[in-house]
Amino acid sequence: MKYAIIKNNTVENIINWDGQSELNVDGDLILCDENSYIGGRYENGFVPREIPPPKEIPYDRLRKHEYPSIEECVHAILDDQLDALQVKRQAIKAKYPK
């Protein structure tokens, strides 16, 4: 079974121990759970790891995936359909403003 070595409310290490054999550690031994990790906090239970919020994707990267391809742009030029292409581009710009 996995046990955490706790010192000053911080998980110093995690070890495998049978719970019975002699073991000398510098700190308290607490049976691990799903929130146990080295460097984590223990305050009457393991404190879950904080997950940072997802990073916001810049507007230009979002637009890039929806803009017409170079091939579509060339066809629009050759087929005299630039107005339709511009309408499509403006819709994408409105969807992902600066």
- CB-based contact 60:92 (threshold 8 Å): no
pLDDT band at 2 (very low <50, low <70, confident <90, very high): very high
Count of helices and strands (H, E) across the chain: 3, 3
Q: Give the tens place of pLDDT for each residue, 14-67.
A: 999 998 899 999 999 999 999 999 999 999 999 999 988 889 999 999 999 999
Supply the pLDDT for residue 75. 92
Dihedral sign for Cα atoms in the order 49, 53, 54, 58: negative
For the whole prediction, is pTM greater than 0.85? no
- CB-based contact 35:46 (threshold 8 Å): yes
Q: Give the tens place of pLDDT for each residue, 73-93.
A: 999 999 999 999 999 999 999
Helix (H) or strand (E) holding 16: strand 10-16
Q: Is 13 helix (H, G, I), strand (E, B) or coil?
A: strand
List CB contacts of 72: < 8 A, sequence separation 6 or more.
85
